[in-house]
Structure 1
Amino acid sequence: LAIVDEPDADARAALLNAQLATAAAYPRLTNHDGEGWHLHYRDDVRSLPFVLRAIISLGTSLHLVTRGMNRLGRCQAAPCTNVVADVTRNGRQRFCSVRCANRAAVRRHRARTA
């Protein structure tokens, strides 16, 4: 969440790089258990928290690199604090769900008509 809440792109990248350093290993091809060749971005550790940290860190990195460093934030519908991973074309997603967007629209409407 510190990565999500960091507004500065350089500081966000530094935080994410530090997390990747503790969670991931060098990418490599593997064919364990005869499952076919695929990439691993982590050491062969069976600990679920370690695996999840590596996968989430890598996914966050790929999202920010491909979509833009500003494409991660918090939902702007109070009191919601969910994370928003902006996947829109124009980069203006502000809410985590349609429900939160509708709630904010109703609040704005009621404020105008009051």
Structure 2
Amino acid sequence: MQFAYDTRVALATGSALVNTVQPEGDLLADRAGLDRFLVDHPYTGRIDGDGAELRAVRDVRDRLRALWDADARDDVVVLVNALLADSGARPFLARHDEWDWHLHLSDPEAPLADRIAAESAMAFVDLIRADDLDRLQRCAAPDCDDVLVDLSRNRSKRYCDTGNCGNRQHVAAYRARRAR
């Protein structure tokens, strides 16, 4: 299935947010970490820049991780509906910057965490409606627990985008073949 551009961006941003928890530490341990995240995954609208906002974004991150941990489609639906309700999502079309008409789900002055939650939840709505939740995966590298969304046409994505997992696994396989 082909997903709209804003859906793909929201899914990528949601997985990137979940992946800010790393074995070496929390990439959102402080406000500077959230600022770095927002450089790579920008949001228009209100940014408070305070500790309350950081805590709220980390709470959304935990709720998004639960989507990958859910055992059944119905469980994901419950989590997504809660995210939509709690975020106060109110969809409308917008056009700004380099983006053509696309869906915004919260007022630009809504708290950042609410906007992240609403956009992520709505992207998951598309996966649920298409019965494509199998696109939600964990990185196949044995030493990585990061999440990913496989939006490739042939559903062949196996490794996360946060590190060099795919590259490391391919090099290891090459070396193993050469050693034989």
TM-score by length of 2: 0.47
Q: Does 1:23 align with 2:72?
A: no
Unpaired segments ≥5 residues, structure 1:
31-36
Cα shift at 1:75: 0.9
Cα distance between partner residues in 2 of 1:4 and 1:87: 15
User: Residues 5 and 44 of structure 1: is their aligned pair in 2 closer, same or farther, counting only changes over 3 Å?
Assistant: same
Summarize the alignment of residues 80-91 of structure 1 with structure 2, pairs less than 5 Å apart: 80-91=144-155
Q: Partner of 1:92 in structure 2?
A: 156
User: Residues 94 and 67 of structure 1: is their aligned pair in 2 closer, same or farther, counting only changes over 3 Å?
Assistant: farther
Count of residues paired in the alignment: 109
RCO higher in 1 or 2 (8 Å CA, sep ≥ 6)?
Answer: 2
Cα shift at 1:26: 4.1
Cα distance between partner residues in 1 of 2:130 and 2:104: 20
Unpaired segments ≥5 residues, structure 2:
1-64, 95-100
The structure with the larger Rg is: 1
Cα distance between partner residues in 1 of 2:78 and 2:127: 16
**SS of equivalent to 1:73:** strand
Contact 1:86 1:92 in 2 (8 A): yes
User: Residues 39 and 77 of structure 1: is their aligned pair in 2 closer, same or farther, counting only changes over 3 Å?
Assistant: closer
Cα distance between partner residues in 2 of 1:9 and 1:106: 36
The one-letter code sitting in structure 1 at the alignment partner of 2:170 is: A
Among 50, 53, 57, which residue is 2:117 paired with? 53
Cα shift at 1:57: 1.7
Cα distance between partner residues in 1 of 2:108 and 2:171: 50
Cα shift at 1:77: 0.8
Cα distance between partner residues in 2 of 1:40 and 1:77: 35
Sequence identity percentage: 34
Cα shift at 1:25: 2.9
Contact 2:105 2:115 in 1 (8 A): no
User: Residues 100 and 59 of structure 1: is their aligned pair in 2 closer, same or farther, counting only changes over 3 Å?
Assistant: same
TM-score by length of 1: 0.68
The one-letter code sitting in structure 2 at the alignment partner of 1:81 is: D
Cα shift at 1:102: 2.3
Cα shift at 1:105: 2.8
Contact 2:93 2:103 in 1 (8 A): yes
Cα distance between partner residues in 2 of 1:45 and 1:91: 37
**SS of equivalent to 2:168:** helix
Summarize the alignment of residues 66-81 of structure 1 with structure 2, pairs less than 5 Å apart: 66=130, 68-81=132-145
